[in-house]
Each structure stands twice: as structure tokens, then as C-alpha cells.
Amino acid sequence: MDKAIGVFDSGIGGLTVLKEIINILPKENTIYLGDTARVPYGIKSSDTVIRYSLENAEFLSSKDIKLLVVACNTASAVGLPALRDKYNLPIIGVIEPGARKAIKVTKRKRVGVIGTERTIKSSAYVNSLKGIDPKIAVVSQACPLFVPLVEEGWTDNDIAFLTAKRYLHALKEANVDTLILGCTHYPLLKDVIGKVLGDEVLLVDSAEETAAEVVGVLRSSNLLKTSNKSAVHEFYVTDAPEKFVEAGIRFLQGTELKNVKKVSIA
């Protein structure tokens, strides 16, 4: 089926998820919405994040998509039930896939989770991990300064390193063997996080697992693209496209950012 896969995020970070989807499903059409006018979601209340998520989904469903990916961890953490209630579409968030992967790879059942303030307060990752394996020990930490650091491109300097050292101290003390990067932006800090925690701690990036789940759902629902037309990737933002294109290149690493249009969705 040639309909597109719809993906939304609060801004540019969800491009890390889109990149994995395009890598694994290069023939599929995609439509990405970045709510750049209202980013960040991570410091807002659940009610606000739910309202924004519904408005984003409304915009994408008006484009006749076949599946919706909520690439934003914060929106996935608090908005999925409301979205699933309203839309009769397969909807995939990033929390469950990330949690499943962590359970698969942890050796000592000691898992750390980092994310925005709202994601951590929601306990979505803890509930998901414990729902799969009640014996798992989970230590969570909000890292609010990571998002602005990544947006600024400060991913490998001393400020990034010191910030990571401070945030990750408790997780290191707790001796976790696996860490879920529970925010769209954090995969870009993998090197710095790895330096602080050491090679023995496995870093789980929800993006790869989410893309694998997209394949599984499209296949089992018979929704994979059948025509051989080349893939079309559309991008919409709610604020100036120029900033999105400039910063987005760091997130997409390779795929060209073309066709970026500004829309009003509220």
C-alpha cells in the first residue's frame, strides 16, 4: 500500500527515529511533523502534551497515513492512550520497543532510564519494564539539560561531558549494566555517555527497535508498500523551516532534508 507512514515529534529529535525507519524500509513514503513552535514537550504538563499530541495526529491523519509513529518519548509516555482511543490506525510509540530491547540485553537485570522530566515523572519506562519482567531493577534520572545541549550541537565538548557526569552519577553508583536513552536527542550524546559510564554499560537506543516494530506491524497488517515508485519523504514544521533544516542534518546524517513546509496545526 502506497500510503505514507506518519511520524511526529515535538521538534527535530524524532528524525533519529525517522532515519532508522528509512534505513530499514527504504521504499516507504514518509511524512514527518516536527512541532518546532511548541518544543520542548519534556518540561510541560501531561495535559498539554496530550493536547499537542492529538493535534499533531489530527494533522497527519488528514494526510491519509497508514500508520502513526509517535517518535517523541515524552508524547509516547503520556499521550498514547488518548491517541489510540481516538484513531483507528496502528500507532507505535517508542517506550515499549525501548523497554523490550533493554530486557533482551541486560545481563544483571539492572537497567537505567534517562529522559525528559515529563517522561521520567510518568514512570512509563518503569511500568513497561516491570510489566515485561517484574524482577528488573530500574533506576531513572531526568536529564533536562541534554536536549538544549544537543540542539546547540554541543555533543562532544567539556560542557557535555561534565553535564553527563553529573546526571549519570547515581546510575553509575547503582551499577546499572544497561541504559535506555529515553529521549529522541540522547543518541547524539552516545559517545559522551559511553565515556562517563564505561564500555561495560550497554546503551539502548529506542529508535532502532521502534523501526523494527514498524516493519513487523506493516508486515502483519499487510500494509507494506507494493509499488516500485521511489520513496517520497515530506517534512512539516510549525515554526521556521530554516532552523529545522540546519539542525536536522545532524540528526538525519545522510538523508537529504527537502520539502520542508511550515504549517499551522493548533
Instruction: Please confirm whether the linkage preceding 148 is cis (ω < 30° from 0).
Output: no
Pick the catalytic residue from 21, 70, 72, 111: 72
User: Sign of dihedral through CA atoms 245, 247, 248, 254?
Assistant: positive
Give the residue, chosen from 15, 33, 34, 40, that forms a contact with ligand DGL under the rule CB under 6 A: 40
Q: Name 162's Cβ contacts closer than 8 Å, sequence gap at least 6.
A: none
Are 113 and 180 a contacting pair, CB within 8 Å? yes
Tell me if 73 contacts ligand DGL by CB under 6 A.
yes
Tell me if 237 contacts ligand DGL by CB under 6 A.
no
Per CB under 6 A, contacts with ligand DGL among 182-221 are: 183-185
Whole-angstrom CA distances from 211 to 17, 98, 176, 240 are 7, 11, 25, 28
Stretch that binds ligand DGL, among 7-15, 20-28, 79-87, 248-256 (CB under 6 A): 7-15
Tell me if 248 contacts ligand DGL by CB under 6 A.
no
**Tally of CA atoms within 13 A in the half-sphere of 252 that contains its CB:** 19
Residue at shortest CB range from ligand DGL: 42
Rounded Cα gap, residues 92 and 71, in angstroms: 8
143 belongs to the catalytic site? no
Rounded Cα gap, residues 258 and 194, in angstroms: 33
Tell me if 72 contacts ligand DGL by CB under 6 A.
yes
183 belongs to the catalytic site? yes
Pick the catalytic residue from 139, 183, 192, 204: 183
Q: Which is nearer to ligand DGL, 55 or 177 (CB)?
A: 55
**Among 261, 220, 237, residue whose Cα is nearest residue 13:** 237
Tell me if 113 contacts ligand DGL by CB under 6 A.
no
Q: Which is nearer to ligand DGL, 40 or 79 (CB)?
A: 40
Tell me if 21 contacts ligand DGL by CB under 6 A.
no
SS3 of 7, please? strand
Place of cell 559522551: 192
Residue type, position 185, single letter: H
Give the residue, chosen from 119, 128, 140, 163, that forms a contact with ligand DGL under the rule CB under 6 A: 119
Q: Which is nearer to ligand DGL, 26 or 148 (CB)?
A: 148
Residues with catalytic roles: 72, 183
Contact set with ligand DGL (CB under 6 A): 9-11, 13, 39-42, 72-74, 116, 119, 147, 183-185
